[in-house]
Structure 1
């Protein structure tokens, strides 16, 4: 795709022409979006990132690790991994704001490190997102059984598939609006659960029991997991860190909207900057709250995790719902469970979007079949949507296995995938940083300048690398070996290596030495520069300006 001319006459005439239109009507060919349409506004991008990151794991799955680490172990584990994900966020932010193109972190790995790395990251991330879709569908069924277990599993899977298909076939503008409101409900829910924790712990509950941090003393703050003593308590913290590596996500979801955002550098910069306080606020406080509202040896929680609790109570997998039932609070558990269901549905919808855009981005560079690059008149890669939706039938695994078992399978496979892509992204950033230094590009001119670079990137490389290797650490301690768990924990690592070697040999790709990367990416950077220069600030009313100032 040729870059736009930078001559004064053409730029001036184009600017005058575009000022008569809204930003979302500017042709995609001028924006570096490569057939996608830039129609997502700042508020939609930011809450899209929240919607993708906050889902089943934060409300339900996090409770499964509480018996392994205890309330203090859960909090320490999330705090420790939180430093790693913050460093990862700095790497994503600089590169994506600099070049907001389709599937940015996947494609930039090919241009700045090695096409083989891009191939491995792309397919790994696509599978991560695609396998996450049935995970959310299974979780929806688990939550539904809170009221009844008479709804056939197959019916739940089919209904959710149809809804996801409809929402992702519509124009991205409508998708963004729907996700905005669904994600807004998530924020209200999370804030409400934090307030619930505080109010009940100081005595605002039907029993007027100011239990505070009682469960940190009885049964205790830490759990000796697998082996007794301090080593066991350390293993418990590690288990919580592993859960955190699956729960604390977000930078990659922001990046997936880069090619469809209005004024992308401004919108992306705000979205990445807000990740630090918005999502970390929810993750860390969520870990603290779960350790307050119920003890780690709660029998209902244990039965739910083991999948042995039958009937309508199976859906009470959320520690918050368990706590409300203990207090005999009426109606509120039903409301919370229903809101968690909308949250889980939204997370799955986000995964369909991200899987679709990843496949589309790979197809643009011949790393996936060409038909996945095709878009309709609305700028939607419809064949890629079909490919992502093809993974939904994995939700039928619940028919012959318990939902808890299927959730554990999917968590085991997906966790390594997240870490591997973070690892590859940080490697890409180090090459980007080296190229800027050698080519005399000042980081002060970047749309987003990360803190403590390149030290943060090196910290993230080692942190994600180590976390990837210790995912199945428990299998090597005191006769804990289990062949199925081993494959769940490490299969994606093997897939990543095989994909890298395959593309390296098949395409004979070349390694891009640090400092030699093309920072202009052909003409794409110029296209984005021109697009942002010519894009007018949308004219909005006073209330709309105030609302959007919070996000743009």
Structure 2
């Protein structure tokens, strides 16, 4: 077996244009190494909480309500369990590559290096567009959430949009350390809220609420464990209802992959990335699986409030359970967390999109100006152009503009799922190359478990999600051209992007022999293999030690 040496170095080129020559100098060849222009400023606690915060947001606090209404308590539970396993398969595969090569762009760069530069181009640009167009969507969502409180609806939406856009932009323009710190505290708040709501839900179910009504498994019996899709009777209707939840669950988990994009700016990525990756399963199991189990116990899937399209706390199954139990005040607190979740999501999307665009520019797959970084390591042009997309939120102020924005948003409908598929394809090629060259994976910072079988299973289920994403339009008397386009348009866009770069650049599949596993892991630059932190004494040192013990 061939061991990958840790201390050796390989010729590297720096991906920045601080010298003012207007060109990015990162080599486009996957075989060459490079030192990042971005800086390693994120502490392990930042990466840990970004990984957790990536799956906690409106998808859990609000989105699970629609899923419960569609599938029933057992349908939603099964859907989130199975899709949680698929997410685990994707994340551990990504974690092995990210720990070995902690570079900006993450899976975008890995696709270029281990599969085909055309795939890297396709994943990168489609993923960037998905994030860039979702940024104004989250800004709009946050502006709507404000209307929950008295007087909030009296202020023009454009004012709230401006406030959100300015704060999110400022957070990212201050650099990765500020972004990491803000996300750390926002993620901490979301974690505390999620844990509190789950515990409260259990208390309500057991009869500990003011109304002292012990629910138990009442709603599993009446109205039942499963819903029937569109009134279709029997097992067929129950299965289709479950399948609809399965697809919804996939979208709820999107964002977990952002952790790989922080690798280039993380301290000790050989330790922090594997640590964050290993805990993905337990985060999913606790927050989502236990969360949907609790709401299935405390809210009947026939409750009409679950389908409230306001986007505020009134549609949250947790809030509905709280209101039904006679508890006051808490709904307003939950709405505050939902508001902060929208801010956190927009913040993360701007960060991830800008780093993706920066990585594309480094590989000559985007205009080189996007590779420009400041002295502090901020890809300022990439951030600025993505912020400009955030201004599309103003389109939602008017009805006509909102219609146009909805179509723009539709273009990225299942890009996230296609990105996960690309990650698994890349990992399977990466692993095949390592085995072909006799590389000893035990020398890697992290080895994904149950491979390659887990990746193949994950890829199969993701393929099913893409294939049957819009299955409802094919049911009797259910055809909708707009729904069909919304469900599937991302697939031809993805394919055309790949074909364009393939023929334009005449790229070739990276053969197993051509894959480069030699030399020290690129991207560390002058960073020592072990980053020894300065020990602090006194009160500050005690607080630092406590925080490290809790979060790292």
> What TM-score, normalized to structure 2?
0.88
1:136 aligned partner: 138
The alpha-carbon deviation at position 333 of structure 1 amounts to 1.0
Q: Distance in 1 between matches of 2:299 and 2:406?
A: 22
> What TM-score, normalized to structure 1?
0.88
1:13 aligned partner: none
Query: Could you tell me whether the CA contact under 8 Å between 1:72 and 1:221 is conserved in 2?
Result: yes
Query: Could you tell me whether the CA contact under 8 Å between 2:100 and 2:270 is conserved in 1?
Result: yes
Per-residue CA deviations over 1:294-338 (Å, capped at 9, x if unaligned) read 211112223x14x6xxxxx96512122223233342211111111
Q: How does 1:537-552 map to 2 (within 5 A)?
A: 537-540=533-536, 541-552=541-552
Say yes or no: does 1:356 pair with 2:354: yes
Query: Could you tell me whether the CA contact under 8 Å between 2:133 and 2:409 is conserved in 1?
Result: no
Q: 1:408 to 1:502 in 2, by over 3 A?
A: closer
Q: Distance in 1 between matches of 2:454 and 2:403?
A: 37
The alpha-carbon deviation at position 538 of structure 1 amounts to 3.6
Q: Distance in 1 between matches of 2:523 and 2:479?
A: 54
The alpha-carbon deviation at position 50 of structure 1 amounts to 2.0
- Of residues 409, 424, 427, the one that matches 1:426 is 424
The alpha-carbon deviation at position 413 of structure 1 amounts to 5.3
Query: Could you tell me whether the CA contact under 8 Å between 2:61 and 2:316 is conserved in 1?
Result: yes
Q: Distance in 1 between matches of 2:255 and 2:545?
A: 26
Per-residue CA deviations over 1:108-149 (Å, capped at 9, x if unaligned) read 111111011001100111122112212322322332222142
- Segment drifting more, 189-198 vs 535-544: 535-544
Q: Distance in 2 between matches of 1:416 and 1:430?
A: 22
Q: 1:395 to 1:526 in 2, by over 3 A?
A: closer
- Of residues 190, 195, 198, the one that matches 1:194 is 198
* Structure with the higher fraction of residues in helix conformation: 1
The alpha-carbon deviation at position 516 of structure 1 amounts to 3.4
1:108 aligned partner: 110
Q: Distance in 1 between matches of 2:542 and 2:228?
A: 57
1:333 aligned partner: 331
1:228 aligned partner: 233
Partner-residue secondary structure (3-state), 1:509: coil
Query: Could you tell me whether the CA contact under 8 Å between 2:47 and 2:259 is conserved in 1?
Result: yes
The alpha-carbon deviation at position 6 of structure 1 amounts to 5.2
Say yes or no: does 1:528 pair with 2:524: yes
Per-residue CA deviations over 1:211-248 (Å, capped at 9, x if unaligned) read 12222111111011032221111111111111111112
- Of residues 255, 277, 283, the one that matches 2:282 is 277
Query: Could you tell me whether the CA contact under 8 Å between 1:363 and 1:372 is conserved in 2?
Result: yes
Q: Distance in 1 between matches of 2:402 and 2:465?
A: 24
2:258 aligned partner: 253
Query: Could you tell me whether the CA contact under 8 Å between 2:8 and 2:520 is conserved in 1?
Result: no
Q: Distance in 1 between matches of 2:208 and 2:342?
A: 28
Per-residue CA deviations over 1:501-527 (Å, capped at 9, x if unaligned) read 00001100011123531224xx67256
The alpha-carbon deviation at position 81 of structure 1 amounts to 1.0
Cα RMSD after superposing both structures? 2.6
Q: How does 1:378-393 map to 2 (within 5 A)?
A: 378-393=376-391
1:184 aligned partner: 188
Q: Gaps (5+ residues) in structure 1?
A: 8-30, 308-312
